[in-house]
């Protein structure tokens, strides 16, 4: 299965935070083709291991499986489904097609009051999520046979190939990062490296990187590499807070990332002519690197991000060249780490 095929397949699966089981299963199958050992833990973290020489540095890569979405909170007497959000931008909800994952999948739409019926001033404000409802076309009696309070809800938004390089879909944050790990596995097979490399597709990142916290504590790596997405440039976003789509992965710079390893990552990109961008993050990175860094007695981390437009919407958009460049950069960076750990000396 190639990278685009993987992304298309997992994009259509439901996997909001805490409900990653199906996505984890597919991911584990892919990992088994490329890793020496693979396990899925009780939190649905998928952990793949590759090694060539025992005794070298233990490196952990992390990219999260979970996606933003919603959950059922009520079914009213007329059959309208009330819901709450998990990480979603409520401004994009009206008019969306959704899938409610009950005992049977139920399709629905998030309706919106027509402008003709709105009161003065209503059209100037974003609708609060508590005032929205999902219309399934069914009665309450029909629905309660199929769905329950607490059932997860995801968007019906297939992956779109916009052209030879650009794709768009609902869960590229951060299943594109998992795709980077898969490509990095392939790249490592072409290289000489020492030590053990753990590839972790993490769970519950959107709720606070819970899966990364657990897996980092378990693996206790010498080096952590978080792979996520960062904001791609759009006409309405400040230039200094975005990165350019198609110009290579973004390397995080800031206190969440180890300065010596970050510089080594930059030097690796320069040495091999890999396009990269700098992403200045002066505080919390909002990625798995945040919890990896402070696990046990501390893990020096780097952060590699894919520029992505329209984060936390149904049309997240990126350039596949950035995915491939990120994978090559990460593999070469891992191969540059020697057993003696001179890369961490002050």
The residues carrying an active-site annotation are 205
Give the up-direction half-sphere exposure of residue 336: CA atoms within 13 A in the CB hemisphere: 19
Closest CA to 196 of 34, 54, 33, 48: 54
CA nearest neighbour of 86 among 25, 151, 172: 151
Residues 6+ apart with CB under 8 A from 251: 262, 265, 266, 269, 276, 277, 278, 279, 302, 303, 304, 305
CA distances from 240 to 57, 234, 277, 310 (A): 35, 12, 12, 17
CA distance 220 to 37: 17
**List of residues 6+ apart from 92 with CB closer than 8 A:** 313, 314
Site of tokens 């935070």: 17
As a whole number of angstroms, the distance between CA 188 and CA 144 comes to 50
CB neighbours of residue 162 within 10 Å: 10
Which residues on adjacent β-strands are paired with residue 227? 304
Taking Cα atoms as reference points, which of 271, 290, 258 lies closest to residue 329? 271
54 φ, ψ to 5°?
-70, 140
């Amino acid at each position: 299965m190639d990278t685009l095929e993987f992304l298309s397949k997992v994009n259509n699966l439901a996997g909001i935070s805490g409900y990653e089981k199906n996505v984890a299963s597919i991911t584990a199958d892919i990992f088994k083709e490329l890793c020496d050992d693979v396990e899925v833990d009780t939190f649905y973290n998928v952990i793949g291991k590759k090694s060539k020489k025992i005794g070298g540095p233990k490196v952990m890569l992390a990219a999260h499986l979970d996606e933003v979405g919603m959950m059922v909170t009520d079914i009213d007497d007329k059959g309208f489904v009330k819901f709450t959000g998990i990480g979603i931008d409520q401004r994009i909800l009206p008019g969306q097609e959704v899938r409610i994952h009950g005992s049977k999948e139920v399709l629905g739409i998030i309706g919106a009051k027509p402008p003709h019926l709105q009161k003065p001033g209503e059209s100037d404000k974003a609708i609060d999520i508590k005032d929205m409802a999902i219309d399934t076309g069914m009665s309450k009696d029909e629905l309660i046979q199929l769905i329950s309070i607490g059932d997860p809800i995801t968007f019906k938004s297939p992956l779109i190939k916009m052209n030879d390089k650009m794709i768009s879909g609902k869960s590229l944050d951060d299943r594109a990062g998992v795709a980077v790990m898969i490509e990095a596995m392939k790249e490592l097979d072409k290289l000489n490296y020492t030590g053990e490399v753990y590839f972790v597709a993490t769970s519950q990142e959107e709720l606070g990187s819970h899966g990364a916290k657990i897996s980092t504590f378990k693996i206790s790596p010498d080096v952590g590499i978080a792979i996520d997405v960062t904001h791609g440039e759009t006409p309405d976003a400040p230039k200094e807070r975005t990165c350019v789509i198609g110009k290579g992965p973004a390397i995080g710079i800031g206190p969440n990332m180890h300065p010596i390893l970050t510089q080594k990552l930059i030097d690796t990109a320069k040495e091999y002519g890999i396009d990269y961008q700098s992403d200045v993050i002066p505080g919390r990175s909002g990625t798995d690197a945040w919890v990896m860094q402070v696990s046990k007695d501390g893990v020096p981390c780097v952060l590699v991000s894919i520029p992505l437009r329209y984060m936390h919407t149904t049309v997240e958009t990126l350039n596949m060249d950035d995915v491939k460049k990120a994978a090559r950069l990460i593999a070469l960076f891992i191969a540059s780490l020697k057993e003696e750990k001179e890369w961490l000396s002050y």
